[in-house]
Amino acid sequence: MTEATVTRKTKETDIVLTVRPGAGESAIDTGVGFFDHMLTAFAFHGGFSLAVKVTGDLHVDAHHTVEDTGLALGKALREALGDCAGIERFGESHVPMDEALGFAALDISSRPFLCFDAPLSGTHGGFDASLTKEFFRALTVQAGFTLHLEAKGENAHHMTEALFKAAGRAFKMASRVTGTGVPSTKGAL
């Protein structure tokens, strides 16, 4: 994994995002505190540092900010992975958080697909829990990942956080270098 910076400017959002290899200090400001907290957890457990500055149309709601951040992060992760030579490719993780349990299974495959099974509802610090799915859909499309996410529990805050942490841990496992060639019998991802 190498450093990658992505900028994304639309009529709804203005984003500058950088990923760096190795877990370190993240500097995240999306204007949505709970989302910042989730991105920090995703990066920490994913084994990379993340710098994000978003100016979005929060006077409307957080949807564009969350979705566009997912698009930018997916693009940055894809660029940071390069040709994927030597990576493990597959990763999975179960993360318990109090009564909640989150599960993530990831394939860095160049075949974007999201399977999402988590009954999330409510708002947490300006973050509508249903935006969790929108974030991960945007991320998988731009990154070219196949990602399965499941959560069960009673508290949507705990379930959402368990999903972000599990997805991060699955990414850390899948992106670690364990070989030399492209991890596919096809010879390409």
Mean pLDDT of 56-73: 95
Residue 188 pLDDT > 80: no
- The domain in which residue 104 lies consists of 4-175
Burial class of residue 118 in the structure, from the number of CB atoms within 10 Å of its CB (0-12 exposed, 13-18 middle, 19+ buried): buried
CATH of the domain at 55: 3.30.230.40
Residue 53 maps to a domain: yes
Question: Per residue in 69-95, is it b (16+ CB within 10 Å) or e — as a string?
Answer: bbbbbbbbbbbbbeebeebbbebebeb
Residue 188 maps to a domain: no
Residue 182 pLDDT > 90: no
pLDDT of residue 184: 63
Task: Specify the DSSP element, H or E, that contains 159.
Answer: helix 156-175
Smallest CA-to-CA distance from 140 within 67, 87, 88, 85 is with: 67
Task: Specify the DSSP element, H or E, that contains 99.
Answer: none
pLDDT of residue 21: 87
Residue 97, SS3 per DSSP: strand
pLDDT tens-place string over residues 102-138: 999 999 999 999 999 999 998 888 899 999 999 999 9
* Domains held by the chain: number: 1
Residue 77 maps to a domain: yes
Q: Is the dihedral of CA 155, 65, 36, 168 positive or negative?
A: positive
Cβ 189 vs Cβ 145: under 8 Å: no
Residue 143 maps to a domain: yes
Residue 189 maps to a domain: no
Residue 182 maps to a domain: no
Gyration radius from the chain CA atoms:
15
Residue 183 maps to a domain: no
